[in-house]
Amino acid sequence: MLRSHDRFPYSPITRRAEFSWPQGRRLAVHVCLNLEHFAYGEGLGVSYSPGLPHPNTYNWAWREYGNRVGVWRLLELFDEFKLPVSLLLNSEVYDHCPEVVAAFRDRGDEIIGHGRTNSEHQNDFDEAGEKKLIDDVTAAIERHEGKKPAGWLSPGVNPSNVTPDLLQEAGYRYILDWPMDDQPVWMRTRKGRILSLPYPQEVNDIPMIVLHHGTAEAFADMITANYDEMRRQSRKQSLVYGIALHAFIMGQPFRLEALRRAFEHMRKAGDGAWFTTTGAIADHFIAAVPKS
């Protein structure tokens, strides 16, 4: 028999409990922005410089463009379309560029744990080391934001076998590491339950543009096509649609025009959709659908 994670059973989406989002809406839409910082000459990353040792100056500076320039252009776009943002935050950003986090705080956006830095993955630690990593991030966010984060995305979306357990024990309510559904899913932990919230592997600029070499226009088409189709599907049952962005990719000037077009399409066709944060989605689902 094949090894199982034993976190949740198989469940066809056509056989789920009926529920709606606030005000009877059927499609919840969240935009997640990854805000990351890497150790210079030491960390991980996505290499666009084949043949050079990785990481390298070229790669580090490419990522840093997102923190210095791209994120500010994206903030203007989010404000233009009045889009709430779920900010997936490396806690090292507080020391590196606190002005960026302050800008999202001023908007009232949600701050979500995303490790200390993407220069390390949770799978590289033993359980005690991973617990300290989670505790460090939780304490940093609580110190700066005045409250603990409710959600978590592992750096590199690379959790360990005990990540859901450690997060639930640290007080987290939901996790974004499992892209297996279009609805939230309750996951077993060794001391209770944690909610898995849909985070996109496909409508995500890193796999689409960096790994699959898609264009900004193709990514915008993906965003709008996915939105239109999920609106049709959501007439039958409530769904979650997530869009994952990175400032060093979609904050490039030539890509912003395409992203603006996608946001404009969603806003014009948005009757009945709930544009919100991952935390608000989790809170509503936890109240509406009891732990299974």
CATH topology of domain 23-288: TIM Barrel (3.20.20)
Report the pLDDT value the prediction gives residue 41, as an integer from 0 to 100. 78
Task: Write out the chain's pLDDT in tens, 292 residues.
Answer: 899 999 999 999 999 999 999 999 999 999 999 999 988 877 676 666 555 656 678 888 989 999 999 999 999 999 999 999 999 999 999 999 999 999 999 999 999 999 999 999 999 999 999 999 999 999 999 999 999 999 999 999 999 999 999 999 999 999 999 999 999 999 999 999 999 999 999 999 999 998 889 999 999 999 999 999 999 999 999 999 999 999 999 999 999 999 999 999 999 876 789 999 999 999 999 999 877 6
- Which of 91, 88, 291 lies closest to 184 in space, CA to CA? 291
* The pair of three-digit structure tokens given for residue 119, joined into one six-digit string: 């220069």
If phi > 0 it is left, if psi is from -120 to 50 it is alpha, else beta; for residue 79 that is alpha
| Beta strands 174-175; 185-189: pairing state | unpaired
Predicted structure pTM score:
0.95
* The pair of three-digit structure tokens given for residue 123, joined into one six-digit string: 């799978």
Burial class (CB in 10 A: 0-12, 13-18, 19+), 247: buried
Q: Judge whether 117 and 39 are in contact, CB under 8 Å.
A: yes
Report the pLDDT value the prediction gives residue 269, as an integer from 0 to 100. 79
Rg over CA atoms, the chain: 18
Report the pLDDT value the prediction gives residue 283, as an integer from 0 to 100. 97
Report the pLDDT value the prediction gives residue 68, as an integer from 0 to 100. 98
Q: Tokens 């049709």: give the residue.
A: 232
Q: What totals of helices (H) and strands (E) does the chain contain, helices first?
A: 11, 9
Amino acid 19 reads: F
Report the pLDDT value the prediction gives residue 48, as an integer from 0 to 100. 61
* Residue 236, number of CB atoms within 10 A of its CB: 11
Report the pLDDT value the prediction gives residue 93, as an integer from 0 to 100. 98
DSSP structure class, residue 204 = B
Q: Judge whether 209 and 220 are in contact, CB under 8 Å.
A: no
CA 147/CA 138 separation, integer angstroms: 9
Report the pLDDT value the prediction gives residue 59, as an integer from 0 to 100. 82
Strand partners, 232: none
Sorted by sequence, the CB contacts under 8 Å of residue 47 that are 6+ apart come out as 54, 55, 56, 59
Residue-wise pLDDT for 91-136, tens only, equals 999 999 999 999 999 999 999 999 999 999 999 999 999 999 999 9
Residue-wise pLDDT for 147-186, tens only, equals 999 999 999 999 999 999 999 999 999 999 999 999 999 9
